[in-house]
Amino acid sequence: MSLRVLAVDDEAPALDDLVHLLRADPRIGEIDTARDGAAALRKLDRALAEGRPVAAVFLDIRMPGLDGTVLGRVLAQFARAPQIVYVTAYEEHAVDAFEIKATDYILKPVRPERLAVAIRRVTEAAGEAFGEDGAAPEPAEPEAMPVELGGVTRFVAPGEVLYVEAQGDYARLHTPGGSHLVRIPLAALSERWSGAGFVRVHRSHLVALAAITELRLDSGRCTVVVGGAELPVARRHVRELRDLLVRRARRSP
């Protein structure tokens, strides 16, 4: 699949570098450029009128006039909305990208291997949109965990759990109805439930990605809100978590 894309950045050197990297990828076909949000909208309208819509927009955020977050919200309203890949020097706009359902969020300076990941995600999403069978099969749900309740053994399925908290050699499963202590280290449970949509956000916490309702970034500190609880996100997990949330939001109806 050859993609028609639009690169948008108000800084000429950054735009030139991005175009150069895009041209080096065989999955990218025609590349158009714009130096601001208004020009980007005009080019997207023209592409739609010509019957050759743009598949993805690689978009800077901080631009004069119509900035990238505002433009992203406008694009999300298109009947045939292009995918959005933010390319920015600022981490703090990840929450905006999550809300806009961007396909990816890349930090400058852009590394070729990181851009290649974004292009793969764009290509996969474009294939799904056109009904091409390029997606990996859904993994089977991992096994439930047995818990003791008043002398009765009950099995708690991964889908019931909002997040898991490490407590020494034990793990506490937090569900909407309460919590359950099970004898398994968090690292072992993280591996066992790796195919059930859980992500390690901290040495003490394993979180169900679908249960995250908020991602908060404040003065370099990152937290997530899950089931009313605000949990810390270790610095080394921030980028991976942000990427996963952006991809999940993009796939949501």
Last residue of a domain, one of 97, 129, 161: 129
Are residue 158 and residue 91 in the same domain, yes or no? Answer: no
Q: Name the token pair of 14.
A: 């950054």
Provide the domain limits for residue 18.
Answer: 3-129
Q: Which of 20, 29, 95 is nearest to 61 (CA)?
A: 95
Half-sphere exposure of 105 (CA within 13 A, CB side): 31
Q: Is 51:23 a contact under the CB 8 Å cutoff?
A: no
Q: Which of 152, 138, 146, 188 is nearest to 168 (CA)?
A: 188
Are residue 53 and residue 117 in the same domain, yes or no? Answer: yes
Are residue 16 and residue 91 in the same domain, yes or no? Answer: yes
In a domain, residue 44? The reply is yes
CATH code for the domain in which residue 167 is found: 2.40.50.1020
Read off the pLDDT of each residue in 59-70 and give the average, rounded to a whole number.
90
Read off the pLDDT of each residue in 111-129 and give the average, rounded to a whole number.
88
Read off the pLDDT of each residue in 193-222 and give the average, rounded to a whole number.
89
- H helix intervals, 139-219: 186-192
Q: Is the peptide bond before 139 cis (omega within 30 degrees of 0)?
A: no
**pTM greater than 0.85:** no
The total number of structural domains that make up the chain:
2
Are residue 218 and residue 100 in the same domain, yes or no? Answer: no
Q: What is the mean pLDDT of the chain?
A: 86
pLDDT value, residue 225: 95
Are residue 159 and residue 61 in the same domain, yes or no? Answer: no
Share of the chain above pLDDT 70, in %: 91
Q: What are the tens digits of pLDDT across the range 142-180?
A: 678 888 777 778 889 999 999 999 998 899 999 998 999
pLDDT value, residue 119: 95
Q: What are the tens digits of pLDDT across the range 7-45?
A: 999 999 999 999 999 999 999 999 999 999 999 999 998
Q: Which of 140, 137, 145 is nearest to 206 (CA)?
A: 145
In a domain, residue 85? The reply is yes
